[in-house]
Every structure is written in C-alpha cells, then in structure tokens.
Amino acid sequence: MQITVTELSESLSLHPEQFLGIPFALAGAFFLSLGTQFQHGGVAKVGQRLGDSGRGLGGGQVLALFGRPSWVIGTVLIGLTIVLQLISLRFSPLIVVQPLGAIALVITAVLNSRISRVKLNRRSILAIILCVGGVAAFVMIASFTAVDQPVSDAALVTILLILAVVLVVFGGIFAIFRDRFQVLMYIVGAGVIYGVIATLVKVMISGLLYSAFRWLTVFCLLGLVAAIIVGFYFVQNAYSSGPPDLVIAGLTVIDPLVAVTIGIVVLGEAAHAGLFAVIGFVVSGFVAAGGVFLLSKNHPQRKTRANGASSA
C-alpha cells in the first residue's frame, strides 16, 4: 500500500506555517554549539588562572569570566541562540522545536574532539547516537501529534509554581551538598531549570500575542530572572568540571524532555496523541536520557581527568 506525499502531509498535525520554527531552531543549535565551545574555553582559562576550590565557581571567578574574550564571544553566540529559539517558539509547538537543540551535540562533539585532540571512543559515539536518535524519534512523533493549545491563567500559574519548586529543590541540594556536586548534577540542574524556562517563555509569547496574562507579567519576569541566574551558574560550573559536549548532551536532552513533559501535561500540546504515540514519547525519551548517562560515564576527557587526579 503506497502513501502519497499529499496523504502524508494531511496526516501531519502542524499547519504549514508552523514548520517555519524548525529552521530557526536548527540555526540556534549551530550557534549553541559554537557558543558552548567558546564559553568552555573561557571558563577553563579562568580556572587555570584562579584555581578550582572544588566548591563551585566563586564570585571572583564569575566576575573574571567577563574579562575573557572567548567567554564573552560565547555568551554573545548563546544570546543569539536564545533569540532564534524564541522565534522558533513563536511559530511552532514547544514539543517540536525544543528537542532539535540535540543537533548541537553532534557539532560540539566534533569541534571538541578536534580542539582537544582527544578522540571519541566507541561508547561515547554510541552515547551520542542514542541522544540524537532518541530526540529525532521524539520530534518525528511530535510532528504528527503536536498542536498549539490556548493557554489559560491556571496553566501559567502552574508553570510558575513548578519553576519555584525546581529552584528551591536544586538550590537546597546545592547548598547542602556543594562539596560533592559533580558535573552530572550541574547538568541535570541546569537542564531542568532551562526546560521550565523554555516552557514559561513559550507561554509568555502566547500571552503577548493574545493580550493575556497581563497581571502575571511581573511574576513571570521575576521568575525568569531568578531561573536564568541559577541556570547560568550551574552551566558555568558544568563547564569547569566536564567537557563541552557532555554539557551540551545534558542540556539538549534534559532541557527538552522537561519542557516537553510540561508541554504535554500542563499545556496539552499532545492532547491528540494516541496510546502508541505516548509510548513512543516515553521510549524515545528514555533512549535519549540513557545516552546522556552513558556519555557521562564513558567520555574520554572525563576519564583522562580522573586518571590525572588519581595519579596526582
């Protein structure tokens, strides 16, 4: 039985104009990979000059980052990434465009391997394939089921409450276990925070378009500022304790998984998804998350650092 292009296009849940967000998201992924590489280099230079206390970046180290040209360039590129992501969210449902950032993982892995002259091993390559493959499957399923739904005040309040809980939980964990915080914890924390941020921004964009949520604007902005500061601090600490492609792997998988989960549960963007689509979401999400865990355990640069530390 043959399926024509017309029949296939009719089965897609997205309107033609909603596909406009996809190229913006892909462009954002490209600049994200470049920005990450530059920022990582800047953080590494500051760490070499000021030392690493093992308790995360101090105030002086954070301020010193602004004096590193490479870090500033990386920050500008990531700022451009954010602009492109906002444009993509304007056109397309969150669960379609947010996972596309995983493309940055492939670009960053290649760049980092060449710059650091550390060749990726087989398990690292397998982990990257799992990350990108899981996200690709997720996006494919979403393209046939995702819909933009009207957002209510209650949904926005729910997202703000989720953000508050996330900030309190990860802030508390960091305050208590700061001496034992490792790269994976920083990545998970930043990924979850940025995932909630992406969802909140998507809702705010919808609110501005339809002149809604005016009385909640102040709370949204305050929440965004607090979340961006905490997420920024976690990401910079992740750079100081892990390779850039590992950081990107966590952010481009955990971030969209959190954002998509909120998009499905709170915003109802997968309201038309059937049982098999839901199963597909869960399986592809686990595959992508498993790739991040595998990469964190088998990245050659992490093993090199660990061996160096143990022999010191």
Whether residue 76 lies inside any domain: the answer is: yes
As a whole number, the mean pLDDT across the chain is: 75
Half-sphere exposure of 129 (CA within 13 A, CB side): 7
CA 290 from centroid of its chain's CA atoms: 15
Instruction: Report pLDDT for 165.
Output: 92
Q: Is the dihedral of CA 269, 251, 203, 73 positive or negative?
A: negative
More confident site: 209 or 228 = 228
297 to 53, 131, 292, 293, 301: CA distances (angstroms) = 23, 14, 9, 6, 10
Whether residue 222 lies inside any domain: the answer is: yes
Q: What is the pLDDT of residues 232-248, one digit of tens each?
A: 888 888 887 777 777 77
CA distance 31 to 23: 13
Could you tell me which of 15, 198, 2, 172 has the C-alpha nearest to residue 98? 198
Instruction: Report pLDDT for 76.
Output: 92
Whether residue 53 lies inside any domain: the answer is: yes
Whether residue 2 lies inside any domain: the answer is: no
Instruction: Looking at mean pLDDT, say which of 52-61, 208-217, 275-284 comes out highest.
Output: 275-284
Whether residue 312 lies inside any domain: the answer is: no
Whether residue 309 lies inside any domain: the answer is: no
Total domains present in the chain: 1
Whether residue 310 lies inside any domain: the answer is: no
Q: What's the pTM? A: 0.73
Whether residue 249 lies inside any domain: the answer is: yes
Q: What is the pLDDT of residues 93-122, one digit of tens each?
A: 766 776 777 777 777 777 777 777 777 778
CA distance 312 to 298: 21
- Residue 142 belongs to what domain range? 10-299
CA torsion 239→240→242→244, rounded to 10°?
Answer: 30
Instruction: Report pLDDT for 182.
Output: 74
